[in-house]
Amino acid sequence: MADSHDSPDFIQYLIKLFYMVGGVLVAGTLITVLIDVLIPMPLVFAAIIGLSIALVKSCFVIAIFMHYKWDKKLIMITWTMVLTFFFFAGMMGLIMWAEGDIPKLHRPELPAIWPILASLLGIILPASFTVLTIKLMNQPAVLESAQTPKSKAKRTTRKKKTT
């Protein structure tokens, strides 16, 4: 949580928001169950509807409960999660390659270069991220806020826009 958001008013506003998000999550669960019980449908549609509602619910949890919305300087978290996704996709690609289920893209045979590139990516991305993290962590911590007035102004305007 950024330090500019510690004011009592903001916390009060947050608490209201938390109750609202709780309501949204409960409503999402109810809708999922009601659709499942009342409307019989094939597996594909049930999967699309169920997982879409779950996705919406998870977005609310991440944005509000986990304060992602207000952690504006979250390059690190975003990096972490985006790179996790790529690494994971690479791993799954390897698994599917091993299973022989890799999408062939309508070509008779996939050139061997692609799986190799995918696995290299899977190694290089997390490695580079680790190096970057260590580099950043080794910088001397500046405890006094180094924020410029300019960035503060920018943040408040953005906050107004989003709320």
Partner 1 sequence: MEIPYTVKPRPDTGLYNAKLGIWLFLASEVMLFGALFSSYVLLRVGAADGTWSMGLMDVIVGAGNTMVLIASSMFVVLAWAQLKQGDLAGYKKWKWATVGCAVLFLMVKWSYEWPSKFKHYDVWFKDTAVLHAHVNEGYGKVAGTEENKAALRDEENKALGLPRLYAEKKIYVGRYFKTDSKKSQSAFTKAWEDGSLALSGHINGYEEAEIKVEIIGWSSDKGVSEADADKALENQGAKSPDDLRKNGGTLLEKTDYDTAKLAEYKLTKAGYSLALSVVGYQYKEAHPYFWRTGRVNEDIGGKPRVLSIDFGLDVNSGDKKEHHPEVKIFTKDIKRLNSYEPKHSTFFGIYYTITGLHAAHVFGGIIVMLYNLLPIGLATWHRDREQFANRIESFGLFWHFVDLVWIFLFPILYIL
* Contact residues: partner 1, CB under 8 A: 1-3, 6, 8, 11, 14-15, 18-19, 21-22, 25-26, 29-30, 32-33, 36-37, 40-43, 46-47, 50-51, 53-54, 57-58, 61-62, 65-67, 71-77, 80-81, 83-85, 87-88, 91-92, 95, 99, 133, 136-137, 139, 141-143, 145-147
Cα–Cα distance for residue pair 69/54, rounded to 1 Å: 19
Residue 123 CB, nearest approach to partner 1 (Å): 14
Q: Indicate the residue among 96 and 117 with the shorter CB distance to partner 1.
A: 96
Alpha-carbon distance values, 65 to 58, 130, 131 (Å): 10, 27, 30
Which tokens sit at 131?
């190096």
Other CB atoms within 10 Å distance of the CB of residue 115? 17
Residue 107 CB, nearest approach to partner 1 (Å): 23
Which tokens sit at 38?
């009342």
Enumerate the H helices of 7-148 as residue ranges: 8-38, 43-60, 75-99, 113-138
Residue 153 CB, nearest approach to partner 1 (Å): 17
Cα–Cα distance for residue pair 52/3, rounded to 1 Å: 34
Residue 146 CB, nearest approach to partner 1 (Å): 4
Alpha-carbon distance values, 126 to 85, 102, 118, 151, 157 (Å): 11, 23, 13, 30, 35
Q: Indicate the residue among 112 and 135 with the shorter CB distance to partner 1.
A: 135
Residue 89 CB, nearest approach to partner 1 (Å): 9
Q: Indicate the residue among 36 and 120 with the shorter CB distance to partner 1.
A: 36
Q: Indicate the residue among 66 and 153 with the shorter CB distance to partner 1.
A: 66
Q: Indicate the residue among 26 and 120 with the shorter CB distance to partner 1.
A: 26
DSSP-derived secondary structure letter, 140:
P
